[in-house]
Structure 1
């Protein structure tokens, strides 16, 4: 299934993307499904959606008439992986890490998959990073790598938008990556039955139609099962939490000449088998 949330910002409703121009209006049939949040994943929500799809009284909305929001509501945290592709580590001046580099992205940075990316006041060097993202489906603590995929609710994509001057100047990454609108997520949350192998997927980014990034998740140094095991050692992952798995090489700020985001640019990122985001860059 392809889970979506549709409606105006802050008023999104849970839905299922049907692939024929319609979205199943989940709440029209099941008032108890408030949203795609921790409660939903904890209480077998995806199984309930499978039943709703068979209901003859199902109600639909036209996909072309509604805005798509972030496909997960109110995650407790966003854990990001830095320098997970060796070529990107090199282009950014990193040593090849021996274990995952983790940092947090604040949840207030979340942005719809087609919403504008806003340039903060004073930003000078700003670019995007296409990433496969994993959404946790049940409480995970001390998980073994062999069991890790059992804890996945689904997969989506995230643009880890970054202001590089702030990132490097502050000595930590959180602020440079945490401005409002700096985490477009979606459009879909794809359930694992439709995406059995997250270790073999193409990740790409374009800016104004020019391709900047293209790689395969097989090139990640630390794959999804390993990351879930590593992160859950001593840190509880809650249902709905997001893990952004890192970006490949080709980012605009590492190019010569640089390809930096400016007002009017259109950024697209995609993960084949999941979907595509399209965000216009605008001044704050």
Structure 2
């Protein structure tokens, strides 16, 4: 499935993109329709993407059932009723999960991008991943939303990344079991300001440059994501996916996830 959060008439809904990417199915409305026909209570986890993902396999099964029923009803001719189904071109796609609880990122996870920035990959780059966080409440935005460039910015940079969407609560998980907790995958642009200085200083203290780098990582709107989450059952090998980055319609970057260091 291709799962989305979309906005229509001032409200957000969780949907699935169907009919050769032409139709958005409102999963909450579709489930309610099925509940009426099956004389059962409607599910309560379709209110937002975080609630949906947190409900795990039960929610995924309910979504697949709704998608199957909708596709059988639509047949070969995509059409929208404006209630349960909408044309994709008529809705505004938000970030698939607009308000994730956490957003972990890896710095320098592609050799190509290290070299694009003028660096050289060393043996140490393959020893330990460099993990940092972005505040999700202010950085996460949709793929077609504008990226806000602050007045103090001097060198805005882009990094197309595979975003791994966790679908279950996890802590202390063994590496061999990690993929069992993944609900799906999307794409993120890790936007950075490479030369950010909060204030000019006469001299640098130890680690000042490190914090300058961090400040350039968590600017508002610096984590565009989407357009949708592709569920794991449709991704045969997450380590063989092409990712391209476009800036104002121009391709600036192209990588394959096979080139990931981690």
> Which TM-score tier does this pair reach, normalised by the shorter chain?
0.7 to 0.9
Which of the residues 231, 234, 243 maps onto 1:191? 231
User: Unpaired segments of 5 or more residues in structure 1?
Assistant: 223-284
CA RMSD across the alignment: 2.5
- 2:24 match: 23
**1:84 and 2:100 are equivalent in the alignment:** no
Question: Which structure has the highest helix share of the two?
Answer: 2
Question: Equivalences for 1:93-172 in 2 at 5 Å?
Answer: 93=119, 95=122, 96-97=124-125, 98-107=127-136, 108-166=138-196, 171-172=210-211
Deviation of 1:45 (Å): 1.6
Count of aligned residue pairs for this structure pair: 222
- Counterparts of 2:16 and 2:256, CA distance in 1: 27
- 2:35 match: none
CA contact under 8 A between 2:152 and 2:196: conserved in structure 1? no
- 1:48 match: 62
Higher relative contact order (CA 8 A, sep 6+): 1
Summarize deviations over 1:8-41 as a string: whole Å, max 9, x none: 6983210000134110011223462211105643
- Counterparts of 2:173 and 2:59, CA distance in 1: 22
- 1:207 match: 247
User: Unpaired segments of 5 or more residues in structure 2?
Assistant: 32-41, 74-82, 198-206
Deviation of 1:207 (Å): 3.2
Summarize deviations over 1:203-237 as a string: whole Å, max 9, x none: 22233554332221111111xxxxxxxxxxxxxxx
CA contact under 8 A between 1:38 and 1:75: conserved in structure 2? no
- Counterparts of 2:106 and 2:154, CA distance in 1: 24
126 and 8 in structure 1: CA distance in 2 versus 1, 3 angstrom threshold = farther
Secondary structure of 2:216's counterpart equals: helix
Deviation of 1:85 (Å): 1.7
Question: Equivalences for 1:257-276 in 2 at 5 Å?
Answer: none
Summarize deviations over 1:102-121 as a string: whole Å, max 9, x none: 00011111111111111112
9-18 vs 186-195, which moves further: 9-18
Secondary structure of 1:158's counterpart equals: strand
- 1:229 match: none
- Counterparts of 2:60 and 2:115, CA distance in 1: 40
- Counterparts of 2:4 and 2:208, CA distance in 1: 37
125 and 20 in structure 1: CA distance in 2 versus 1, 3 angstrom threshold = closer
Of the two, which has the highest radius of gyration?
Answer: 2
Deviation of 1:72 (Å): 1.0
8 and 180 in structure 1: CA distance in 2 versus 1, 3 angstrom threshold = farther
TM (norm. structure 2) is: 0.76
Deviation of 1:190 (Å): 0.1
CA contact under 8 A between 1:80 and 1:102: conserved in structure 2? yes
CA contact under 8 A between 1:105 and 1:174: conserved in structure 2? no
TM (norm. structure 1) is: 0.71
